[in-house]
Amino acid sequence: MTQKIIVDPVTRIEGHLKVEVEVDNGVVVDARCTGTMFRGLELIMQGRDPRDAQQIMIRICSVCPLAHSNAAALALDSAFGIEPPPNGRILRNLMFGSNYLQSHILHFFHLAALDYVKGPDVPPFVPRYQADYRLPDAINKAAVDRYLQALQMRRKAHEMLAIWSGRVPGMQGIVPGGATETVNAQKIIDFKFRLAELIDFVDNVYVPTVQAVAEAYADWFDIGRGPKNLLAFGGFPLEEGPDHVAKKKFFPSGVYIGGKDAPLDPDKVTEQVKYSWYADDIAKSPTEAVVKPEPTKPEAYSWLKAPRYAGHVMEVGPLARQWVMGTKEVRALGDKAFSVMGRHFARAIEASQIAHAMDEWVMQLQPGEPVATPYEIPKEERQGIGLVEGSRGALGHWHKIEGGRTAVYNAVVPTTWNCSPRDDLGQRGAVEQALLGVTVKDANNPVELVRIVRAFDPCLACAIHLMTPDKKEIAQFIVG
């Protein structure tokens, strides 16, 4: 018998997302992801001083504002024809890396882990779906105890960021041409002191806890495959240079399509909106933002657009970065990397990589040296592009300037890639594909669905109801 399950909302993610699936004899045969909120930040930017992007775009998200701050700054650097000095580049990386650490720790310990770790029957551990908790009692208890410790570690990461940005969120530390905060020895010491604690936590708590969960839930290395096409814009530049695709970066840029690695070509990125609540049905380059809303559009079911790379559905995020980077532990998993547990494993490894890299980068700062490059807003038409790797995946900002004002602004964000609706060819988005084929053991307790969705760390919120094919509602859930 075919049933429809709509989770409303998928909690313990950021924002507003609805996931709807059809199951036949307990197996998912169709899936839809719906972004349920329209914000229109690209419309807000039109006609403004282009430098306003630096403050407006960081408010896309307060969990990962550094991703948007960096992308907005890189787009302005590109449009203005400027490049940060070494101190400015390093400070941007240190701020961004600090935000990565707090985001990755948040995702596992406070959002996703509660699907695998059985906490006491008190908030924040309830309400929750009833899952198949498998961890040995001692390991489970330790993981529960780490919940509060992880909150403290996230605070340390925020403090590291605030050293260079002034405050968190709504930071002021990144500007076109570099950064705002001057460098001195005391700030370096304060940063390294906190970073040492985080390195210890990531290496000796975070990574081992993920490994313990992965061992207990080994079957989840075979669940949630997705498209098996991966995209990384690249991030954390290690050298100066105008071309931030070609320059050396800690996370290299690249794609993996149909089992083959290939270099990144940003010109192959398009956005499709046939099934999105926007007025245009034509695939467009991100330089031509589709922003006119049409909430009554037939067949549409999401405010998310459908980004595609050379027409392919792509997955972005830690798994994509680690695969493109060639990390041995991830590549050694083979097809098992394309899974719920593979994504958690890649994210944990990545947290350790970033933490240790920052320990080196901070010592490359030069007290007293410039942190930003002066610039003027060009009067002639300019097009800037800012490509970064947000904690959740490939993020691009496209910024067209005419007469000293913003004419077109477009942000193509990681969750738009992962949670996109169908495209013009009817191809499902990455999360939609990952949901296909999963067995839902209990339609009234669809924990399998939220485990898959949360592994992507979406930056929006979901809504799910359980319905019969004749649309009669059986049950509605608001769960943990």
pLDDT tens per residue across span 188-202:
999 999 999 999 999
pLDDT tens per residue across span 25-67:
999 999 999 988 777 777 888 999 999 998 888 888 878 889 9
- Of 433, 377, 420, 427, nearest in space to 402 by CA: 377
8 secondary structure, DSSP code: S
pLDDT grade, residue 279 (50/70/90)? Answer: confident
Q: Are 398 and 419 in contact (CB under 8 A)?
A: no
- Does 311 score more than 90 pLDDT? yes
pLDDT tens per residue across span 115-148:
999 999 998 888 888 889 999 999 999 999 999 9
Range 171-195 average pLDDT: 96
How many Cβ atoms are within 10 Å of 292's Cβ, its own excluded? 12
Tokens 């991030």 -> residue: 235
- Does 473 score more than 70 pLDDT? no
Q: What stretches of 229-339 show up as alpha helix (H) in DSSP?
A: 318-325, 328-331
Q: Rounded to whole angstroms, how far apart are CA atoms 173 and 252?
A: 24
Q: What does the mean pLDDT of the chain come to?
A: 91
**pTM (2 decimals)?**
0.93
- For residue 280, the model assigns a pLDDT of 76
Q: Which two structure tokens, joined as six digits, stand for 52?
A: 């306003």
206 secondary structure, DSSP code: I
Q: Rounded to whole angstroms, how far apart are CA atoms 302 and 142?
A: 40
Q: Are 396 and 386 in contact (CB under 8 A)?
A: yes
pLDDT grade, residue 373 (50/70/90)? Answer: very high
Range 467-480 average pLDDT: 39
Q: Which CATH superfamily is domain 44-442 in?
A: Cytochrome-c3 Hydrogenase, chain B (1.10.645.10)
pLDDT tens per residue across span 315-360:
999 999 999 999 999 999 999 999 999 999 999 999 999 999 999 9
3-state secondary structure (DSSP) of residue 348: helix
Listed by start position, the domains of the chain span 44-442
